[in-house]
Amino acid sequence: MAIIYKEENKTFTLHTRKTTYQMKVASYGYLLHTYYGKKTEGDMSYLIQRRDRGFSGNPYEAESDRTFSLDTLPQEYSCQGNGDFRSVAFNVRNAQGVYGCDLRFRNYRIYQGKYELPGLPGVYGTEEELETLEITLADENVGVEVVLCYSVLEALDVITRAVRVKNTGAEVLTVTKAASAELDFVCGDYDVLHFHGRHGMEHVMERTPVFHGNQSFGSIRGASSHQHNPFLILAQQNTTEDKGECYGISFVYSGNFHGEVEKDQTAQTRMLMGIQDQMFAYDLAAGETFTAPEAALSCSSEGLSSLSQNFHRLIRYHICRGKFQKVRRPILINNWEATYFDFDGEKICNIARQASELGVEMLVLDDGWFGQRDGDVSGLGDWVVNEEKLGCTMGELSEKINQIGMKFGLWIEPEMISENSDLYRAHPDWAFAIPGKNPVRSRHQLVLDFSREEVVDYIYSSLEKVISHANISYLKMDMNRSITDVYTAVSGYQNHGKILYQFVLGVYRFLDKINTRFPDLFVEGCSGGGGRFDAGMLYYTPQIWCSDNTDAVERLAIQKGTSYGYPISAVGSHVSIVPNHQTGRVTSLKTRGVVAMAGSFGYELDLGVLSEEEKELVKQQIADYRKYWNLIQNGDYYRLEVAGKDTALEAWMFVAEDASEALVNVVTLEARCNGPVAYVKLRGLKEAGSYRLEGTHQVLSGSALMYGGLPVPHMNGEYQAWQVHLTEIGESAEAI
């Protein structure tokens, strides 16, 4: 039993393999959070030390007891209105415009399996793998009931949370804030690791101390965004890759979000994650329910690598679905950086032919195949094949590509509309625009109102026609602007604060329809690269194009940042031409290959322009990827720490789950005259195992490689790559 309720001390304890999470129904029915961390036994509420603190008020029932204050007690789901002046998880506004409520414990339910999330993505598993606790809190005076849902994936050290809010009163009640997860800590000095960025430079990790006050990360762009990712880590300040306590929260949602970390007046820390409260006001009619999306939590007391691996396993096996979950993804070539909009069917076939000769397995036709789309100013919304441009039908083109020996994939951007399109001319009110105001344009396009069912259904059926009339194995689903001018022509300003949530549900419904109708189709997510890289999208699209930046050196930071919360299998990564189109940087083809192999591997250039020698290297890269894909996609990933401040390099490795083989990767960042030798300490090997370094006769013990380290050979010039495969040769072999 992962979930235990003890009536004698009114504690709810959630045990995973290595962690314990606990809450307690305290005086007056308040639900306090007593502990989350390394596995413990017993009632942890002794940790809560009550003191009389001035200006921290007390519930009325506490009478003369000035030590019971919601302003200082660690809570499970804090709300505005009962004396907690920190940033809270929950708030409502009644029909008279009065804010706040006072939530008290009502009842609970424990059952096998998972709670429901209507229309939303979430962690899945078997009845045996998951156990669920639902705790109902309520404020009868305000007329609100809040159900806190917890599912425990014991084996993975993961706890998921979601919240259902019901209006139990007679009038409209507006939910103005409803975080999905709250974590309160009574002590500790923490750092917050968050992942910020911009278009072309996503998920850059920044680690900053948690200070007194509120640190807030989020998106109001309609999608999870390039600028901040809905994944946060809170780590004890001494936590490293392999030591120390840390907590991660991954929001399983693809729209606006808000993550907060706050150190309060007595140095306690609160972390919140949930739907963004700006531009959000969810009106509930009497009896109606709102479901706040899921947040997945994990804790590790063994450092950041193990925390990341918990999320990697969770996403790979309990969020991503479909037949592509574990199998090798086809090595693809995408025409975008090779042609942009300037192509015809013949050019595409030539690219495919060249690539096929070198071993590439799929051609993806990117933007520009539909409507009047020869640039980014027109055509979005008109999902009709431009046969004149292709010189054939899509069915014929897919057949030609198949005859070349390749699979065929297609780019789409269903949520968008160009003003210069037949769809806009027919349905101008399908685009978000506020009456009397000119909408903000971005990349010359507007956003379709996917909160409306008929809009989603129309776009789905036009794309369904294209997909079902050609042999299409893969879709790249893009979204190339942030959302502004939110207004729905159906309900006008009524329900305005719901629209962005309903928009995201519309996107999920679209994807669900595609996945159901075409179960053999592999769908990759994309939003100008990693602008919607989140666990919610990964429920529908097991892979996401990680960044429009294909520069191998910048990709090191992007992919490293992504790896904290997301598995390698989720990362789309391609080798492109040099000088790189985004940065102008020149790196070797070898380095570009090694970096792209820290993801789902592909190419995005005209391979016909390469020299014969380079083509041979491409063949070798493809052979390597075929050999190592399982290790890369399904193995344990480690970010490696490099000994010595004088060595400028990035290193990472993949280790098979049984530690029988590993792939070590190093890229130098600076060229140094007469520089120091760099050593990387490997991770995850068997201490007593003997490993052969492929291509050499050298055999070293796992313990030597992990504790002594592996010297990195001298490489002349910056941005050089070294990749070495280690195979265990059995414990009897003599180590040298």
Task: Determine how many CB atoms are found less than 10 A away from the CB of residue 59.
Answer: 18
DSSP symbols for 580-619? -TTT-----HHHHHHHHTSSEEEEES-GGGS-HHHHHHHH
Residue 212 sits at the vertex; the CA angle it makes with 210 and 216, to the nearest 5 degrees, is 60
- Looking at residue 128, what DSSP letter applies? T
> Is the CB of 16 or the CB of 573 nearer to ligand GLA?
573
Bridge partners, residue 602, by sequence: 332, 574
> Is the CB of 540 or the CB of 545 nearer to ligand GLA?
545
CA–CA distance, 517 with 510 (Å, rounded to integer):
11
Does residue number 554 form part of the binding site for ligand GLA (CB under 6 A)?
no
> Least separation, in Å, of the C-beta of 136 and ligand GLA?
44
Helix axis angle for 612-634 and 589-596, nearest 10°, is 20
> Is the CB of 371 or the CB of 529 nearer to ligand GLA?
529
> Least separation, in Å, of the C-beta of 336 and ligand GLA?
5
| The only residue of 175, 271, 397, 526 in contact with ligand GLA, by rule CB under 6 A | 526
The piece of 20-28, 276-284, 506-514, 521-529 that touches ligand GLA (CB under 6 A) is: 521-529
> Least separation, in Å, of the C-beta of 668 and ligand GLA?
28
Of residues 302, 457, 614, 641, which has the active-site annotation? 614
Does residue number 415 form part of the binding site for ligand GLA (CB under 6 A)?
no
> Is the CB of 34 or the CB of 480 nearer to ligand GLA?
480
Q: Are 421 and 371 in contact (CB under 8 A)?
A: yes
Q: Are 716 and 588 in contact (CB under 8 A)?
A: no
Three-state secondary-structure class, residue 333:
strand
The piece of 325-333, 524-532, 549-557, 587-595 that touches ligand GLA (CB under 6 A) is: 524-532
> Least separation, in Å, of the C-beta of 333 and ligand GLA?
13
| The only residue of 145, 264, 382, 478 in contact with ligand GLA, by rule CB under 6 A | 478
> Least separation, in Å, of the C-beta of 366 and ligand GLA?
5
| The only residue of 528, 561, 593, 599 in contact with ligand GLA, by rule CB under 6 A | 528
Catalytic residue status for 614: yes
What is the per-residue burial (b if ≥16 Cβ within 10 Å, else e) of 324-338? beeebbbbbbbbbbb
- Which residues neighbour 179 within 8 Å (Cβ) at sequence distance 6 or greater? 89, 90, 163, 258, 272, 273, 274, 275, 292
> Least separation, in Å, of the C-beta of 368 and ligand GLA?
8
> Least separation, in Å, of the C-beta of 500 and ligand GLA?
22
Residue 221 sits at the vertex; the CA angle it makes with 218 and 222, to the nearest 5 degrees, is 105
Residue 338 sits at the vertex; the CA angle it makes with 337 and 342, to the nearest 5 degrees, is 100
Tell me the two tokens of residue 113.
């399996």
> Is the CB of 39 or the CB of 443 nearer to ligand GLA?
443
What is the per-residue burial (b if ≥16 Cβ within 10 Å, else e) of 363-388? bbbbbbbbbbbeebebbbbbbbbbee
Does residue number 728 form part of the binding site for ligand GLA (CB under 6 A)?
no
> Least separation, in Å, of the C-beta of 426 and ligand GLA?
23
CA–CA distance, 324 with 326 (Å, rounded to integer):
6
Which residue number has the CB closest to ligand GLA? 367
> Least separation, in Å, of the C-beta of 340 and ligand GLA?
8
> Is the CB of 74 or the CB of 379 nearer to ligand GLA?
379
605 to 332, 462, 515: CA distances (angstroms): 11, 30, 29
Select from 378, 386, 449, 383 the least CA-distant residue to 419.
378
> Is the CB of 548 or the CB of 650 nearer to ligand GLA?
548
Q: Is 518 exposed, middle or buried (0-12, 13-18, 19+ CB in 10 A)?
A: middle
CA–CA distance, 589 with 467 (Å, rounded to integer):
34
| The only residue of 231, 280, 411, 539 in contact with ligand GLA, by rule CB under 6 A | 411
Q: Residue 501: enclosing H or E segment and its boundaries?
A: helix 499-517
What is the per-residue burial (b if ≥16 Cβ within 10 Å, else e) of 269-295? bbbbbbbbbeebbbbbeeeeebbbbbb
Catalytic residue status for 551: no
> Least separation, in Å, of the C-beta of 564 and ligand GLA?
22
CA–CA distance, 183 with 247 (Å, rounded to integer):
9
> Least separation, in Å, of the C-beta of 531 and ligand GLA?
8
> Is the CB of 15 or the CB of 407 nearer to ligand GLA?
407
Does residue number 524 form part of the binding site for ligand GLA (CB under 6 A)?
no
| The only residue of 545, 629, 638, 722 in contact with ligand GLA, by rule CB under 6 A | 545
585 to 611, 650, 719: CA distances (angstroms): 19, 18, 10
Q: Are 137 and 77 in contact (CB under 8 A)?
A: yes
Of residues 534, 554, 636, 650, which has the active-site annotation? 534
Task: Determine how many CB atoms are found less than 10 A away from the CB of residue 449.
Answer: 27
Number of residues in contact with ligand GLA under rule CB under 6 A: 11
Strand ranges (E), 113-200: 130-139, 144-153, 158-167, 173-185, 190-198
| The only residue of 139, 145, 157, 366 in contact with ligand GLA, by rule CB under 6 A | 366
| The only residue of 129, 367, 382, 524 in contact with ligand GLA, by rule CB under 6 A | 367
> Least separation, in Å, of the C-beta of 480 and ligand GLA?
5
| The only residue of 548, 551, 554, 636 in contact with ligand GLA, by rule CB under 6 A | 548
Does residue number 480 form part of the binding site for ligand GLA (CB under 6 A)?
yes
- Residues 40-69 touching ligand GLA, rule: CB under 6 A, are none
> Is the CB of 361 or the CB of 366 nearer to ligand GLA?
366
CA–CA distance, 640 with 653 (Å, rounded to integer):
7
Does residue number 529 form part of the binding site for ligand GLA (CB under 6 A)?
yes
Long-range contacts of 645-651 (CB under 8 A, 24+ apart): 646/672, 646/675, 646/676, 647/675, 647/676, 647/678, 647/712, 648/672, 649/678, 649/712, 650/556, 650/560, 651/680, 651/712
- Residues 602-631 touching ligand GLA, rule: CB under 6 A, are none
> Is the CB of 501 or the CB of 545 nearer to ligand GLA?
545
Q: Are 257 and 229 in contact (CB under 8 A)?
A: no
| The only residue of 336, 450, 601, 625 in contact with ligand GLA, by rule CB under 6 A | 336
> Is the CB of 534 or the CB of 548 nearer to ligand GLA?
548
The piece of 135-143, 208-216, 523-531, 624-632 that touches ligand GLA (CB under 6 A) is: 523-531
The piece of 92-100, 218-226, 522-530, 636-644 that touches ligand GLA (CB under 6 A) is: 522-530
Tell me the two tokens of residue 425.
């001319």
Which residues are the active-site residues? 534, 614
Residues that bind ligand GLA (CB under 6 A): 336, 366-367, 411, 478, 480, 526, 528-529, 545, 548
